[in-house]
Amino acid sequence: MPVYYYIFLAVALFSIGVIGVLIRRNMIIIFMCVELMLNAANLLLVAFSKMHQQVLGDIKPTAASDAQVFVFFIMVVAAAEVTVGLAIIVMLYRNTHSVDVNFLNRLKN
Amino acid sequence: MNVIEILFWFLSVMALGGAVMVVSSKSPVHSILYLILTFFAISGHYILMNAQFLAIVNIIVYAGAIMVLFLFVVMLMNLNADSEPHQKNKWILYIGGIAGGSLLLIIVAALKQTAAATQLVQMNSGNTGLIKNLGMLLFTDYVFPFEISSILFLSAMIGAVIISKKEA
């Protein structure tokens, strides 16, 4: 499978995530779109790792493993981000009784 | 068209359809369920590329832990399609769609002509993604970032508790 199929799939997923962040007003949906963008980047990293292994695999059987370790660390950081982000959303919901992202301007004072 | 190509197209359509439904569904619970579908499709892609460790971690961490957390928060707040804040300004919808579509168009146009884009991806073979090799790498070359991530988790845990404490 040529790598450009994976590039286009990942770019399409990333763009859908960008559109979701731009047009939705529900904070939880915006957060989920950020997760979608992270996953698009993960998919592309794995595809490039396997692309390099196709070239280098005969010389070094474990070539390009670094990309997959990076994907693991991206998942770790995403999990930490989700815990703090959802705590902020719950706190904001308790104060404003809404998940509308425009109410975040009440944090001004 | 062999079985790997059929699976690739099936999983791609599943991932893209799920992603579109995440953005367009009215109810947040439906969005979460479609995002779980998308994550399962991406895990299927990982299995197709023989990245077994990442496929399992993706299912356990993303589709399991993180999405259950989202679902828990949505059900805690009792959100549904009626309480959904709808976009009053219609122009934002068009502008967001045009901006995202332009991003897609420009990246695809820029990468279509590159020589490296036609290289093949190794499907269904190779031992890079096996848990033995990644585990060896994680506990030799990447042992310092691995330990740092435990501090990150500790601080995230403390931060979440402090933020959600009432009248902190």
Q: Which of residues 95-134 of B touch A (CB under 8 A)?
A: 95-97, 99-101, 103-104, 107-108, 111-112, 116-123, 126-129, 133-134
Please say whether the beta carbons of B31 and B47 come within 8 A.
no
Question: How far separated are the first and last CA of chain A, in Å rounded?
Answer: 55
Q: Which residues of B64-89 are buried (b: 16+ CB within 10 A; e: fewer)?
A: eebbebbeebbeebebeeeebbeeee
Nearest CA in chain A to B81: A26
Instruction: Record the tokens describing residue B59, joined without a space.
Output: 């299912």
Task: Quote the pLDDT of residue B126.
Answer: 75
Is residue A107 included in any domain, yes or no?
Answer: no
What is the ipTM metric for this complex? 0.91
Task: Quote the pLDDT of residue B154.
Answer: 95
Task: Quote the pLDDT of residue B104.
Answer: 93
Is residue A109 included in any domain, yes or no?
Answer: no
Mutation target among A21, A33, A70, A71 for the B interface, most CBs of B within 10 A: A71
Using CA atoms, how far apart are residues B110 and A74, in angstroms rounded to an integer? 26
Give bridge partners of residue B120 from the DSSP assignment.
A2
Q: How far is B101 from chain A (nearest CA, A)?
A: 7
Is residue A47 included in any domain, yes or no?
Answer: yes
Using CA atoms, how far apart are residues B38 and A35, in angstroms rounded to an integer? 11
Q: What is the pLDDT of residues B101-152, one digit of tens each?
A: 999 999 988 888 887 777 787 777 777 778 888 888 889 989 999 999 999 9
User: Given a cut of 90, is residue B32 above it in pLDDT?
Assistant: yes
pLDDT category, B20, cuts 50, 70, 90? very high
- Nearest CB among B20, B51, B70 relative to A16 is that of B20
Is residue A108 included in any domain, yes or no?
Answer: no
- Min mean pLDDT across A18-32, A51-65, A69-83, B51-65 is at A51-65
User: CB-based contacts of B14: which residues, under 8 Å, 6+ apart?
Assistant: B37, B38, B40, B41, B44
CATH code (residue A47)? 1.10.287.3510
Q: What is the pLDDT of residues A5-35, one digit of tens each?
A: 999 999 999 999 999 999 988 899 999 999 9
**CATH fold for domain B3-129:** Four Helix Bundle (Hemerythrin (Met), subunit A) (1.20.120)
Task: Quote the pLDDT of residue A85.
Answer: 92
Task: Quote the pLDDT of residue A108.
Answer: 67
Parent domain of A39 = 3-101
Task: Quote the pLDDT of residue A43.
Answer: 94
Instruction: Record the tokens describing residue B65, joined without a space.
Output: 């832990």
Task: Quote the pLDDT of residue B89.
Answer: 79
CB pair distance less than 8 Å for B99 and A18: yes
Q: For residue B145, count other CB atoms closer than 10 A to its CB.
A: 15
Is residue A17 included in any domain, yes or no?
Answer: yes
Total number of domains in chain A: 1
Tell me if chain A has a CB within 8 Å of the CB of B59: no
Task: Quote the pLDDT of residue B167.
Answer: 62
Is residue A31 included in any domain, yes or no?
Answer: yes
Question: Domain coordinates of chain B in residue numbers?
Answer: 3-129, 130-168
Question: How far separated are the first and last CA of chain B, in Å rounded?
Answer: 60
Is residue A106 included in any domain, yes or no?
Answer: no
Tell me if chain A has a CB within 8 Å of the CB of B150: no
Tell me if chain A has a CB within 8 Å of the CB of B43: no
Over residues A65-74, the mean pLDDT reads: 90
CB pair distance less than 8 Å for B128 and A66: no
